[in-house]
Structure 1
Amino acid sequence: MTGHKSHATEPDLSATVPIPLARPGTAGTRAGHRGMSAIAELQTQPIMILGAGPMTPPTTADAGTKSSGGIGEGLALSISSALGALAGLASWLIAARLLPQAEVGHAAAVVSAFILIAGITQLNLGLGLIRWLPVAGRHAQPLAWRSLLLIMPLSAIVGLGYVIAVPDLARTAAGADGPLAVGMCLFALATAGWGVFVVHDYILVAIGKPWWTVWRNGLFAVVRISLLVVLGTAFGAQGVVLSWVGPIVVWIGVGSLVLLVVVRRFARQAEGGTMPCRSEVVGFLGPTATAQVGYTLLLNQVPLVVILRFGPESGAAFFIAWQAAVVIETAANYYMHSLSASWARTPNRAAELTSSSRRRLLMIFLPALAVGAVLAGPGLSIFGPGYAAAADVLRLLLLGLAFRLLVVHELGVRTAAGHGMAYARLHTASALLVLVAALLVPASTGTHPDGVGAALLPVALGYVAVQVACAVHVVLVRIRRRAGRPATT
């Protein structure tokens, strides 16, 4: 896979990061592929640090690929991700009403585990696709399908290996009397399906169909919750797992057929197009996929660690509080993802897009965090008294998330600018530090004298401390940039 390279760059257009630009017509045809993980960041601008040369957009007749700043794309991604996260929260509320708290903990462990493996094995290709598909033109079909056909078998194989190493997950999936092999197969199916589920959303956004993701995720949520009511009542923790696996398999099958049509139509409407060369793909995927592993561990391994260290009942209370925070975390990340697509289409507006995205991010999500903190107690009490005990834990998580918004914005900017290594360092460090805190804080599987909430407070305090430290670091880096000094991260 080769292409012509351009080494010309324009002046720095952003107060935050330098943006190398290609002269029209200098980019050649490139080949590559790419996919992504459930929650991550996206890119669309040339990655000069990768040594692959910049890319120029193809001429296309598809007005749907144009954007007036990515506001609609960001809103669609945020609503789509929030729908999924809220549906997850609603499903756990139903599960908490149907099942004993310990059973909820076991089911949560299975769901967190297959989402964890799927997120890691997506290789951050979703962000690559949202960066590369808008300029791929007639090459869009092979770019999308090579990515999906890489992710799905990889997710299934790694998922099978994971569940063999942790057979308790397979026992939950198989049910009390079911064969262990059935549980392993269900886990592998869920992992393979979820591995490409989120990537479908990024493909739709990249080809100018962002609002399709909202309908897709909304319908998926309705079906999954409906199945949970039926299957959870009949099969307990196994029913919770089945309510995920069934819709995932169906949605991937139907969604793949839809993508076959819309991506082909997108490619036919384009004139020309560019593909990322192999060095660009490897250079981008290397650091950013590593960072995505850390972020996936943050979202899914942290509650697993708490369940294992504090026991299923305390772990279930933490899991619900954590999911409530993840609703806002996920929406904020998806909102910033749109910056990459907008930046790729209008690189001359980089500084403006950077500033406006930060302002809108804080205006939208800080009030949401405040409302969440006020409603933490009443909200968790809906799940039951055992969950309401974690109200202060949730408030601390939301406090830490307020500082994390600065980190989320910086990650989005670094992604859009193609600064893969800087993105990876910040993303990996901020995620792994939380995981380390969850592993090192004092834990007890017995009953804490002051209740479940008090037992879990050290984990939440560790989360806040990490986010404050990372936010301070981001602010200092920005100050160094404005002062004209090189920022090392």
Structure 2
Amino acid sequence: MTRPGTQSREPDAYRTIPMFAPARPRVPSAQPAAAPDRARWNNFTRTDLQTQPMLIVPPTAASTGRKAGAGEGLALSISSALGALAGLVSWLLAAHLLPQAEVGHAAGVVSAFILIAGIAQLNLGLGLIRWLPVAGRHAPPLVWRSLLLIMPLSAVAGLGYVLFVPDLARTVAGPHGPPALGMCLFALAAAGWGVFVVHDYILVAIGRPWWAVWRNGLFAVVRITLLVVLGTTLGAQGVVLSWVGPIVVWIAAGSLVLLVVVRRFARAHAGTGVMPTRSEVVGFLAPTATAQVGYTLLLNQVPLVVILRFGPESGAAFFIAWQATVVLETAANYYMHSLSAGWAREPERAAELTSSSRRRLLVIFLPLLALGALLAGPGLSIFGAGYASAADMLRLLLLGLAFRLVVVHELGVRTAAGHGMAYARLHTASTLLVLVVALVVPASTVPDPGGVSSALLPVTLGYVAVQVVCAAHVVLVRMLGRAPGSRAA
């Protein structure tokens, strides 16, 4: 260290910061005064202290919350969009490769095990994205307990389902295969898909969001390739196997990867960690899992209701248009799920994160909805002339989805804030209203000169009306200050 008025051969690597302290009173002494090391200013002294190196810590996830939150949301949205788009492409290929009856059998099996897996997940994906960022050393047991709960539950539910609907097992086993084989493969598919989506949430929660994108993209490519190869030779069974095979391989490989990265995450946060209590887990999962069941039924049940009430031709066109809206809504929901991770890391920035997530959600998805409305006619014409007549119906569904973005954002906020009952109330109400519309809107009993769009115009207008009402409710609650983030909802 260099004293004032002297020169040093080597510059001080660390700057000296003056510190001011009260001067001690003078005490008479016989000893001669030593050379002063301090410059006296009235009753204070300026003292040179020994300098010490300062540890510069790299930015943490908390300090980079803005970029991390945006990246996590975008990664989840892209992952879900890849899966949904791959589903559309696969059914388009199946429609060109197989007879319509074979496509129907395969679609029934796939829809069934996805429905079962979605219900058996118990909304643990959203729970993990809330709890894992702060779990620290408790991360591995939290992850494996969740996965080992979902997989057996999905498998048992799958076995029970095919016992009551044996046609599903016969489709999976093929025309000459034993039904027991079909039951086992169906249960395996349900168990695998039950944790397939949860893997994405885990990767986001531990700071690996873009791994989920590559994982889902590669899965889509392999699945579509297998569909072309197996579908042409095995028919409906080949379509189902193009799902089951990749699911089993991806879960086996993905579990090994998670074993490594979750342990690394735990070691990096070995000195910290908060495990959610049993009451916290039950308090969050009980209402939100119920709402998630309703949402899962909505995605799968509304097209079925329309098919039964309006006939197979109109219902098929509605199914394709509905799947197009599901692609965008699923991506928007996944984008908002990332808010839970950011909120868990930085609860003090809850209001800022809420506002920025709303702005990004609208900036990203409103242009996509406008583009979808513009390309509705050419896009549906790819499936055939019968589907192209549903272009106006698709435009109305996209209009309703524009209002639903307000609801999607509010659902994400309530999830991040841990307001399980408020989340369940809004989610259940918005989904049940759509189901009621599909069930009670009168069907046309006269020939329809306007085609599919005219026949289903009451249903699509009802969907738009429900979304407008729900969005208005959310805005009103926010204005009154009763929403999560302002006061308890």
Structures share fold, TM-score greater than 0.5: yes
Residue type matched to 1:291 in 2? A
Q: CA, structure 1 residues 392+102, in 2 after alignment: closer, same or farther (shift >3 Å)? A: farther
Deviations 1:424-479 (A, max 9, x none): 10011111221222233345899866544433333323322221111111111112
Q: Displacement of 1:174 after TM fit? A: 3.3
Structure 1 equivalent of residue 167 of structure 2: 168
82-91 vs 433-442, greater mean Cα deviation: 433-442
Residue type matched to 1:375 in 2? L
Structure 2 equivalent of residue 383 of structure 1: 383
In 2, Cα distance between equivalents of 1:458 and 1:478:
30
CA RMSD, 1 decimal: 2.5
Structure 1 residues 194-213: aligned runs within 5 Å: 194-213=193-212
Q: Displacement of 1:108 after TM fit? A: 2.3
In 2, Cα distance between equivalents of 1:213 and 1:418:
24
Structure 1 residues 348-387: aligned runs within 5 Å: 348-387=348-387
Structure 2 equivalent of residue 35 of structure 1: none
CA contact (8 A) 1:132 1:276 kept: yes
Structure 1 equivalent of residue 27 of structure 2: none
Structure 2 equivalent of residue 44 of structure 1: none
In 1, Cα distance between equivalents of 2:405 and 2:145:
33
Tell me the secondary structure at the aligned position of residue 122 of structure 2.
coil
CA contact (8 A) 2:83 2:216 kept: yes
Q: Displacement of 1:172 after TM fit? A: 3.2
In 1, Cα distance between equivalents of 2:456 and 2:175:
30
Query: Would you say 1:157 and 2:156 are equivalent positions?
Result: yes
Q: What TM-score do you get using the length of structure 2 for normalisation?
A: 0.82
144-153 vs 347-356, greater mean Cα deviation: 347-356
Tell me the secondary structure at the aligned position of residue 207 of structure 2.
coil
CA contact (8 A) 1:105 1:307 kept: no
Structure 2 equivalent of residue 56 of structure 1: none
In 2, Cα distance between equivalents of 1:443 and 1:107:
28
In 1, Cα distance between equivalents of 2:175 and 2:373:
39
Structure 2 equivalent of residue 473 of structure 1: 473
Any stretches of 5+ residues in structure 2 without a counterpart? 1-56
Q: CA, structure 1 residues 483+171, in 2 after alignment: closer, same or farther (shift >3 Å)? A: closer
Structure 2 equivalent of residue 267 of structure 1: 266
In 2, Cα distance between equivalents of 1:395 and 1:267:
47
Structure 1 equivalent of residue 192 of structure 2: 193
Deviations 1:26-55 (A, max 9, x none): xxxxxxxxxxxxxxxxxxxxxxxxxxxxxx
Structure 1 residues 381-460: aligned runs within 5 Å: 381-443=381-443, 450-460=450-460
In 2, Cα distance between equivalents of 1:66 and 1:165:
53
Structure 2 equivalent of residue 111 of structure 1: 110
Work out the percentage of aligned pairs sharing the same amino acid: 83
Structure 2 equivalent of residue 233 of structure 1: 232
Q: Displacement of 1:308 after TM fit? A: 4.2
Q: CA, structure 1 residues 128+269, in 2 after alignment: closer, same or farther (shift >3 Å)? A: same
Q: CA, structure 1 residues 254+247, in 2 after alignment: closer, same or farther (shift >3 Å)? A: same
Structure 1 equivalent of residue 249 of structure 2: 250
CA contact (8 A) 1:122 1:151 kept: yes
Residue type matched to 1:476 in 2? L
Q: Displacement of 1:160 after TM fit? A: 1.9
Q: CA, structure 1 residues 136+284, in 2 after alignment: closer, same or farther (shift >3 Å)? A: same
The structure with higher relative contact order (CA 8 Å, sep 6+) is 1
Q: CA, structure 1 residues 483+65, in 2 after alignment: closer, same or farther (shift >3 Å)? A: closer
Deviations 1:331-352 (A, max 9, x none): 1111111111111111121111
Residue type matched to 1:424 in 2? A
Structure 2 equivalent of residue 462 of structure 1: 462
Structure 2 equivalent of residue 30 of structure 1: none
CA contact (8 A) 1:102 1:316 kept: no
Q: Displacement of 1:362 after TM fit? A: 0.8
Aligned residues: 429
Q: Displacement of 1:102 after TM fit? A: 4.2
Q: What TM-score do you get using the length of structure 1 for normalisation?
A: 0.82
Query: Would you say 1:68 and 2:65 are equivalent positions?
Result: yes
